[in-house]
Amino acid sequence: MALYLSKSGKHLPNLKQKFGLLRRINNNLSSCSWSCCFHHQNQPSLSPIPIGIIPTLFSFRRFESSKPDKHLGSLHNHGGGHPQVLNFPGGKVKFTPDLKFLSDYPDERVHCYRVLDGSGQTVGSNFVQIEKDVALKMYKDMVTLQTMDTIFYEAQRQGRISFYVTATGEEAINIASAAALTIDDLVFPQYREAGVLLWRGFTLQEFAHQCFGNKYDNGKGRQMPAHYGSNKHNYFTVASTVATQIPHAVGAAYSLKMDGRDACTITYFGDGGTSTGDFHAAMNFAAVMEVPVILLCRNNGWAISTPVSDQFRSDGVVVKGQAYGVRSIRVDGNDALAVFSAVHFARKMAISESQPVLIEALTYRAGHHSTSDDSSKYRPIEEIEWWKEAQNPVARFRKWLEGQGWWAPTSESELREYARHEVLQAIQVAEKVDKPDLAQLFTDVYDVPPSNLIDQEKSLRESVERHPHEYSH
């Protein structure tokens, strides 16, 4: 590691000038401020950090740690004869005569950042104050997402669409994370983040068109329902492949960094996605390449029927951050204010210091994996019901809004009625629209249609003309 760093080290001054991403260089850092806040051999639990201090503490540290080590080849520390330390490739390491293994599991799990308690009361003061209009939009979008999920799910059950995935139980993660970003931040979703697209302005009608795969689908009927994508909203098209979006987000973050943009990328994935090779490679690369990416893991306890206890044996996903040299935080995913604050600061760090940040949002997948799943087959219904009711993120946020005096009970029924009406309307309209034209079978394979596809389209059209009864429309 030190060898690699020393070679890149001579280019670092260039990097700093070229990209100008560092906003604050704090020269008064003591070397122990780094270690006291992170895992030590003997202190596996992470001490909570007052949030306001973070930018000061760490804004310069990143580059300082990657400067070339001047005593690369020397066996001893400066000041002659410290046989306790050796400058291995990768840096100085202290020796110990104790034969001690690091524990496989901490005595205490990493604490979870939470701002709103179950009754909608705020705890502590370490969170970003949200303006009333932002908070109201957040709530309305959470309710709309809930409503959309319920009704589209029903539509699939009625056979009107072929497939659907809900984000039930994860409305706070969806909406609050989106609210803490700007439209310039690129989103690399998995498939349970329709709420992020909703926040950014994708309409219910557009969602419906995609699910019905009709001619107004901006995806041109190419993909299964819920595989949304919109360049206009900086939301990259959902792909079915698990966790492939994570290295994509890192690569795009690299592009952003080369561009010197005041923006980051964010990518979402589940607990299951962290088992893939792509997660590992992306985390590692993001740290080595120093790119502005937020990696948000929706740890909802289940990967289809695989519980997290069968997925990994670590203390969840947050601890994996340090394994890659990535700053991380665990947050209550059902707490909209906590998610908002965590993403807000993660974004600041990612952009100003050009580094990745891992957020583990603990939550529960209150719905089935998809319409192809019946989760009551592998988990108790009481468990599902408990999370749906007691830990409902929408209800919790509403209680807080009511406490602020920003939301009245009458507004609730009005909103729900309105959302329901809009969703039903969107479905009814989308259902009647024709499917995409034949031409859409052949476009976008390449930038310019190749001659063989032009020929094939021609011969297909001739066939349709000759046998119209065989081709319904």
Q: How far is the CB of 258 from other proteins (least distance, A)?
A: 6
Sign of the alpha-carbon torsion through 87, 90, 91, 97? negative
Q: How far is the CB of 366 from other proteins (least distance, A)?
A: 29
CA dist., res. 279 & res. 297, Å (int) = 10
Q: How far is the CB of 252 from other proteins (least distance, A)?
A: 4
The span of 106-114, 198-206, 404-412, 441-449 binding other proteins (CB under 8 A) equals 441-449
What the block records as the tokens of 337 is 């204010």
CB neighbour list of residue 450: distance below 8 Å, 6 or more residues apart: none
CA dist., res. 472 & res. 470, Å (int) = 6
| C-beta closer to other proteins: residue 15 or 49 | 15
The contact mask relative to other proteins for 386-425 (x = CB under 8 A, - = no) is ----------------------------------------
Tell me phi and psi for residue 135, to 5 degrees. Answer: -60, -40
Q: Are strands 293-299 and 302-303 parallel, antiparallel or unpaired?
A: unpaired
What the block records as the tokens of 185 is 């931040």
Active site residue 472: no
Active site residue 240: yes
The contact mask relative to other proteins for 129-168 (x = CB under 8 A, - = no) is ----------------------------------------
β-pair partners for 356? none
Q: How far is the CB of 35 from other proteins (least distance, A)?
A: 25
| C-beta closer to other proteins: residue 223 or 314 | 223
Binding to other proteins in span 223-252, by CB under 8 A: 223, 227, 229-231, 236-237, 239, 241, 244, 246-252
Please tell me the count of residues contacting other proteins according to CB under 8 A. Answer: 54
CA dist., res. 414 & res. 424, Å (int) = 15
Given candidates 57, 288, 323, 424, which one binds other proteins under the rule CB under 8 A? 288
| 248 neighbors 267 (Cβ within 8 angstroms) | yes
Q: How far is the CB of 182 from other proteins (least distance, A)?
A: 16
Binding to other proteins in span 55-114, by CB under 8 A: none
CA dist., res. 416 & res. 147, Å (int) = 8
Active site residue 417: no
Tally DSSP H helices, then E strands, for the chain.
Answer: 18, 9
What the block records as the tokens of 127 is 């969170």
Per the residue annotation, which of 248, 353, 370, 422 is the catalytic one? 370
Provide the greatest CA pair distance for the chain.
92
CA dist., res. 216 & res. 213, Å (int) = 8
The span of 13-21, 90-98, 153-161, 401-409 binding other proteins (CB under 8 A) equals 13-21
The contact mask relative to other proteins for 263-282 (x = CB under 8 A, - = no) is --------------xx-xxx
Tell me phi and psi for residue 386, to 5 degrees. Answer: -60, -50
Q: Is residue 256 a contact point for other proteins (CB under 8 A)?
A: yes
Active site residue 402: no
- How many C-beta atoms surround the C-beta of residue 364 within 10 A? 22
What the block records as the tokens of 263 is 């923006």
Q: How far is the CB of 443 from other proteins (least distance, A)?
A: 7
Q: Determine the residue type at 442.
A: F
Per the residue annotation, which of 64, 154, 385, 414 is the catalytic one? 154
Binding to other proteins in span 197-226, by CB under 8 A: 217-220, 222-223
| 12 neighbors 67 (Cβ within 8 angstroms) | yes
Tell me phi and psi for residue 112, to 5 degrees. Answer: -110, 125
| C-beta closer to other proteins: residue 278 or 332 | 278
Q: How far is the CB of 3 from other proteins (least distance, A)?
A: 9
Q: Is residue 27 a contact point for other proteins (CB under 8 A)?
A: no
The beta-strand segments (E) located in 85-211 are: 85-88, 91-94, 186-188
| C-beta closer to other proteins: residue 18 or 458 | 18
| C-beta closer to other proteins: residue 196 or 339 | 196
In angstroms and rounded to an integer, the radius of gyration of the C-alpha atoms of the chain is 25
How many residues in total does the chain contain? 473
Given candidates 107, 108, 434, 447, which one binds other proteins under the rule CB under 8 A? 447
Q: Are strands 357-362 and 293-299 parallel, antiparallel or unpaired?
A: parallel
Q: Using CB under 8 A, list all residues that contact other proteins.
A: 4, 7-8, 11, 14-15, 18, 186, 188, 217-220, 222-223, 227, 229-231, 236-237, 239, 241, 244, 246-256, 258, 277-278, 280-282, 284-285, 288-289, 440, 443-447, 450-452
Annotated catalytic residues are 154, 240, 369-370
